[in-house]
Amino acid sequence: MSDPGYYFDNQREARLCRQVWEIAPRIMGDSRYTLQAPHGAFSKLPWASLRIVYARDWITYNREMGSVNRELKSEYTGTEIANVEHFYCGAILGMIGGPVAGLVLGGVGAVLWDGLISPIRKACSGGLTWKGLKYDLKQVGVYDARGTYFGAMYRIKGNA
């Protein structure tokens, strides 16, 4: 399925995911837009789907700047933005490995990040809570997993 919004049960998240997906091709050709360093490295992989890389970069950059709603003239919640960002994180991991290795890499990467690294970072800053840990693990099982599948299968389904 080439519609990334299809993977969301929440219609607001589906709409946000589609909006980011539509922004990606517009900024790909804009010389004023520079990818963040890790995404720039992903974009150089010969099998990379640049649209996935740019979608991930846009949502991450604008979440970090607190400008998603201003850019889209919308009122998405922090949770909705985070869930869409996690979807695109999973999509990049899936894209890297393709239809077989991408699913494995995405699963392992998501578990390592959200199940280990993120809680350690939060614990070091005094922000680790049971509720937060449960939410992170939900993102692994839902948003990262769906994004990984989307990224791994994107080219297989006939999309550039």
109-148 per-position pLDDT tens digit: 767 766 666 667 667 767 666 666 676 677 767 788 888 8
Residue 158 falls inside a structural domain: no
Number of H helices, E strands in the chain: 8, 0
Residues in contact with 70: Cβ distance below 8 Å, sequence separation at least 6, in sequence order: none
Residue 40 falls inside a structural domain: yes
Residue 159 falls inside a structural domain: no
Residue 2 falls inside a structural domain: no
Residue 3 falls inside a structural domain: no
Alpha-carbon distances of 86 from 8, 33, 126, 145, rounded to whole Å: 12, 22, 23, 9
Number of domains in the chain: 1
Q: Give the rounded distance of the alpha carbon of 58 from its chain centre.
A: 10
pTM: 0.83
Residue (of 102, 99, 105, 56) closest to 81 by Cα position:
56
Range of the domain at 112: 9-153
Which ranges of the chain have pLDDT less than 70? 1, 110, 113-119, 121-122, 125, 127-133, 135-136, 140, 155-160
